[in-house]
A and B are shown apart, each in its own frame.
Chain A
Amino acid sequence: MYVLCIQAQQDKTDDSSFLDKTEFKVGYYGNVLWDNGLNLGAEYVWKEKKKVKETKKGQKTITHQFLVNGILGYSTNFANKTDNGLHTYYGLIWRRTSPKRWQFQVELNPLGYYRSFLPETFKVDGGDVSKVRLPGRSYYTPTIAFGIGRLRHGKRRSGWYLNFNCAFRTNYNAGVLPTYSIQYGHRFNFKKKK
């Protein structure tokens, strides 16, 4: 039987360095069948709350974090020459880490950008035909994601994550195109060993 809660405490990392509060991540990005690519990113701990539960077996700590998130990635479809894109997005992650180090997270990234890269493209304007330099299009692309992961305490490679991501490419053709992908990767850090 669990006894009561509890105590909420602010994290003591306020005086930590930037690197102590930052984790980097690298992973797969895509939907396996059509688009596949790579994501690089970083997350910075903005707020952190730890709840300590007293149980018969001892203390259990549940951590809630808000992290500032930034991602840069590239994906392509190997079966055609039309679906290459660079994306970057920024926002917030809310993450809960259980006493057994399992994590659940929700991401909201309102600042998102997608740039498609097209093969040889010709622009027709009236009777004029000209070749387009660096052909492609830019789209405002906010994203949302939710997923799970597992934390590794005190390690350089500090855990893995698996997210389901939904991005909204706006204005794509005459509407808003939702694209779905999964993200699987590992986080790592350059924190000073204590």
Chain B
Amino acid sequence: MRQFKRSFLNLVVLTITICSVASCSDDENLNDLDETIFVRHRNADMPAYIRGNASEKVFLITLNGGPGGVGLEFRGKAFDEIENQYGVVYFDQRGSGNSQGNYDKDEINIDIMAEDVLALAKVMKRKFGSDSRFFLLGQSWGGALGVATLQKDQSDFKGWIDVDGAYNAAGLYDLYLETFTTTANTQIALANSVDFWESVLELVSQVDPINNVNDFSKLNRKAPEAEAKLAQDGIINSEDTGVEGNNLNFVYNPRINQWNGIQIGSIITGDQGLFQTTDLTSQLPKITIPSLFISGQYDMVVPIVSAQTAFETIGSASKELLIFNRSGHSPPFSEPDRFATEVLRFMDEHKQSSATDYN
């Protein structure tokens, strides 16, 4: 009996030791994070995939495109480099990717989704400490969501990185008509994919000059095709997701993604008319934190004029606009090295600044 008690005691001590070591390992692994946590807010549970080197407790929170895209879609060569230096938080927004919940349609809108992002920042501070520092990066739809977030509260963020942001979604229709025409004429003059670009001009001549859902969809679907032709003709770089790719095949069930995309697409772009009604230009002057705008020269999805206007309108005293000459709508994948370099430089420059420096 005594022997048994001793063995049992040894087992308990060993178990406690192993558990203690395991629970301490988070602190030791801040320089190589690979964690998934969930944020519960307004009846939604949304995963945040935290990766990279957070030894300085500097995190880049990313907002993907869509609406209906997935947080981890950023992963690839550029973000691998960023992860080597800083923590990166990939966030599946409400109704997207592996997020789940139980809520009504009226609990999906850009306003609540912006509150979700602020909730994520609060959770990150709770988990990693109040001395954590954040940068916010939004691409395409994520650009609009980022502006909506920052105009509510920018005090938690050291800087804002807008990558082809669609903060003026309602203005895209006119930009499509203008950019498609200009680009098509230029490419026809260069004798590049003439048949395709003539079909683009034909589409532009057929659609209504007034923004409407059906014609917007036609133009929006044509934009990636146009970028594919530009890549094929060597005007822009093809997308490079790195040697390993972003390995999303088994992380996300594509059928559920598709279902989520249809759901959220029908609510935000259909019922709420994102591309007919949303223009956050008037919110830009309220943003005063350091801002970096990155746009592809040949972005056909959110044309470059959008970034130029945002750069001129934003209230930040410290701001930059970078044009990626060999890119369309995906600078992180078409020019990954330059993208990583510029984002890291921006974060290095502003990670020590305090909010009062810019208010």
Query: How close is A116's CB to chain B, nearest CB, in angstroms?
Result: 6
Contacts A80-B98, A129-B122 given: A122-B267 contact, CB under 8 Å?
Answer: no
Residue of B37, B251, B263 near A174 (CB, 8 A) is: B263
Q: Could you tell me if A137 and B250 are in contact, using CB atoms closer than 8 angstroms?
A: no
> In chain B between 109 and 164, which residues have their CB closer than 8 angstroms to a CB of chain A?
119, 122-123, 125-127
Given contacts A174-B104, A174-B108, 14 further A-B contacts (CB under 8 A): A31-B253, A33-B253, A77-B250, A83-B98, A116-B100, A120-B37, A120-B127, A121-B38, A124-B39, A124-B122, A125-B41, A135-B38, A137-B100, A174-B103
Total count of chain B residues near the partner, CB < 8 A: 39
- List, in ascending order, chain A residues with CB within 8 A of B119's CB: 124
Closest A residue by C-beta to B48: A122
Stretch binding the partner chain, chosen from A1-9, A18-26, A176-184, A186-194: A176-184
Measured between alpha carbons, how far is A83 from B252 in the docked complex, in Å? 9
- List chain B positions with a Cβ less than 8 A from chain A: 35-41, 44-45, 47, 94-95, 98-105, 107-108, 119, 122-123, 125-127, 250-253, 255-256, 259-260, 263-264, 267
Using a CB-CB cutoff of 8 Å, which residues 66-85 of chain A contact chain B?
77-83
Pick from A137, A171, A173: contact of B260, CB under 8 Å: A173
A116 to B101, CA, bound (A): 10
| Cβ–Cβ contact A177 & B256, under 8 A | yes
Chain B: CB-nearest residue to A119: B36
Whose C-beta in chain B lies nearest to the C-beta of A171?
B102
Report whether B250 and A123 are in contact in the complex, using a CB–CB cutoff of 8 Å: no
Residues of B within 8 A of A137 (CB): 45, 100-102
Cβ-defined contact, A124 with B123, below 8 A: yes
Would you give the shortest CB distance from B62 to chain A, in whole angstroms? 17
Cα A12 to Cα B39 in complex, Å, equals 57
Once A127-B122, A137-B102, A173-B44 are accepted as A-B contacts, the answer to whether A119 and B253 lie under 8 Å apart by CB is: no
**Inter-chain contacts of B122 with A (CB < 8 A):** 124, 127, 129
Those of A100-132 within 8 Å (CB) of chain B: 116, 118-125, 127, 129, 132
How far is it, in angstroms, between the C-alpha of A108 and the C-alpha of B199 when the chains are bound? 51
Specify the main secondary structure of chain A where it touches its partner: loop
CA distance A116 to B100 in the complex (A): 9
Decide: B259 and A178 in contact? CB cutoff 8 A: yes
Which of B99, B104, B253, B260: most chain A CB closer than 10 A? B253
Listed by A's residue number, 18 A-B pairs whose Cβ atoms lie within 8 Å are: A31-B253, A34-B253, A80-B36, A80-B251, A80-B252, A82-B36, A82-B38, A120-B127, A121-B40, A122-B127, A135-B38, A135-B40, A137-B101, A172-B100, A173-B44, A173-B100, A173-B102, A177-B259
Q: How far is the CA of A77 from the CA of B38 in the complex (A)?
A: 16
Would B45 and A135 count as touching, CB distance under 8 A? Answer: yes
Given known A119-B37, A121-B40, contact A172–B126 (CB-CB < 8 A): no
Q: How far, in angstroms, from A129 to B259 measured CA to CA in the complex? A: 31
Complex alpha-carbon distance, A1 and B192, angstroms? 72
Find chain B residues with CB under 8 A from A81 CB: 36
Question: Taking CB as reference atom, which chain B residue is nearest A129?
Answer: B126
Which of A31, A33, A118 is in CB contact (< 8 Å) with B38? A118
For A118, the chain B residues whose CB sits under 8 A away are 38, 45
Please measure, in the bound complex, the distance between the C-alpha atom of A122 and the C-alpha atom of B47, giving whole angstroms.
10
Q: Answer yes or no: A139 CB below 8 A from chain B CBs.
A: yes
B263 and A175: CB pair below 8 A? yes
- A173 and B95 in contact, given A118-B45, A137-B100 (Cβ under 8 angstroms): yes
What residues of chain A lie closer than 8 Å to B126, measured between beta carbons? 122, 129
Q: How far is the CB of A78 from chain B (nearest CB, A)?
A: 8
Q: In the complex, are the beta carbons of B263 and A82 less than 8 A apart?
A: no
Contacts of A125 in B (CB 8 A): 41
In the complex, which residues of chain A have a beta carbon less than 8 angstroms from the beta carbon of B252? 80
Contact B37 A122 (CB under 8 A): yes
Name A144-184 residues within 8 Å CB distance of B. Answer: 171-175, 177-180
Tell me whether A129 and B104 are in contact in the complex, defined as CB-CB below 8 angstroms, given that A82-B47, A174-B95, A178-B259 are known contacts: no
- With a cutoff of 8 Å between Cβ atoms, the chain A residues found around residue B98 in the complex are 80, 82-83
Measured between C-beta atoms, what is the minimum distance from B277 to chain A in Å?
A: 20
Instruction: Determine the distance from Cα of A127 to Cα of B41 in the docked complex, in whole angstroms.
Output: 11
